[in-house]
Chains A and B, each alone.
Chain A
Amino acid sequence: MTTALEPAIHGDRVSLLRVLGPAHVWALGVGIVLVGEFTGWNFSADKGGTLAALIVCWVVGLLYTSVAMIDSEVTSTVAAAGGQYAQAKHIVGPLMAFNVALFLVFAYTMLEVSDAILLGDTIVAKAGVDGLTHNSFIAATIVVLAWLNYRGVLMTLNVNFVITAIAYVSIVILFFSVSPWTQGAVLKLNELVTPGNALPYGWIGVIAAFQFGIWYYLGIEGTTQAAEEVRSPARSLPYGTMAGMITLLIAAAMTWYVCASLMPWEYLGITPYPLWDAGKLTGSPLLENLLFIATLLAAIASANGCINDAARAWFSLGRDRYLPSWFSAVHPKYRTPYRSILFLLPIALAFAFIADLNQAITFSILSGVLQYTFMSINIMMFRKKWPLGTIRRGYTHPFHPLPAIVLFCLCVVTFIAIFLGFGSQLIAMTVFYFLISLWFHFYRYRYVRRGDQFTMPWPKPQGY
């Protein structure tokens, strides 16, 4: 176990510890995502109105359901730390894998930074004290959670399970406290959303809203990073991921309904704390304080899961020598990728202190959408190279290739939405990934042990 007093070295190898179950997978995925209900999704109302926020809730929900199904099938077969990185390596090739790993590290590190900033800003807003800044709270969030991750994955995800469950239950409590079956008593959806203001910018506003609609579910695919630490990957990963997706669809619908029924779209679209504000608007101090605490817990759970996932992606790069193998060290006592955790710690702190929330969020979303685009191509290649019946799958997703086509089309729409809002960042990141790919292809790949990197005992792919 992670808390064993003696170093756990089996033979001459030290590897990550297989101690997790489906509940931990759920805690990892939902923990990363749930903060998006507490802030982020509501900016889609600013882009296209309250109805646009609901439309993207369902349409982006479809995108992520496709992501969860595709991911569950591939990961139940490629059960290795690094998640989508290991998938890309085996199915597409090393250059794609290198890029996917960078998407993962950027997406999770920037999301961790955003979470820490959100937590600091929320505490400062609650305190209302002159001279109090968010820096100390940001530092404590990142360092304490890095320490927790350093000490072992089991305790890390046990903590995530508890705080994610509390944050989730707070949304359920809020929903039932405002008599959702009765309009007019507390909720005023009929008055706040009218045919005149439901889509203030028309359908182009709906397209623009996609960029922030991503926040309802951003990060659920992070469950795959636990692949090497779950006891039964073929069962736990699909079960935990799909359960997480169902949980999030319910939370997103409840969140939209309560917030849209309490706040006009002009305010809903700009507030950084939609659920906390909803708690205040009910007039109940208990609900207000509950939603304040839940906002903090959601941010902590998200940052915690992000540290876990970013470190494993970085660790996997080191293990395959895509980066120096020094990063692939596993702690002999705690069985965690401790050097990767420590390496990413000051980077997260630096970004949290110098970047603003919008920049960090945009980098995270961009890297995430690049990754989802890859996943739609990846599953097509996977099914073509290893058709059903040629290798054992823990889960087979239905309606192939429809989910892949839907995912690809929705990713294209999201890129257009991001270009409308953050065109320069999109171009800058594309240039960055292009240049880093050149570096990998012409310089770094010579250090990779080419035969060692393909570890799955699969038959030869069809056509090879």
Chain B
Amino acid sequence: MWMALSYACWGISILLALWMLYDWFKVDTTYSEDVLTSSREGELEAVSEKHRI
């Protein structure tokens, strides 16, 4: 049973790794680099925090 579990672990690892690689490729070819790297630190804070004491 333990050996079967071990083989199952290899199988799941390979499948999920391949899925992530596929999704990575799909996303990178669908969206522009500007959109994907458009996150900015503290955007919400700049809007909501007035820092009035």
Contact = CB atoms under 8 A, between A and B. Distances in A.
Interface of A: 7, 9, 12-16, 18, 79-82, 86, 123, 127, 129, 131-133, 136-137, 139-140, 143-144, 146-147, 150, 228, 316, 318-320, 325-326, 328-333, 338-339, 342, 345, 389-392, 453, 455-459
A333 B42 CA distance: 21
A319 B52 CA distance: 28
Given A12-B35, A140-B9, A458-B51, A129 B45 contact: no
7 contacts: A13-B43, A15-B39, A16-B39, A18-B44, A140-B12, A392-B52, A457-B45
A338 B16 contact: no
A391 B24 CA distance: 41
Interface extent on B, as a size class? Answer: 35 or more
A139 B46 CA distance: 41
Contacts of B17: 143, 345
A157 B51 CA distance: 31
Given A392-B51, A458-B51, A15 B43 contact: yes
B39 A328 contact: yes
A455 B41 contact: yes
Given A81-B41, A455-B42, A458-B51, A140 B13 contact: yes
A127 B10 CA distance: 17
- Secondary structure at the B interface, as helix, strand, loop or mixed, is helix
B16 A390 contact: no
A419 B52 CA distance: 47
A426 to B, nearest CB: 33
A143 B13 contact: yes
Nearest to B45: A79
Given A140-B13, A144-B13, A329 B36 contact: yes
Contacts of A333: 27
A132 B2 contact: yes
Interface string B1-34: 0110011011011001101110110010001011
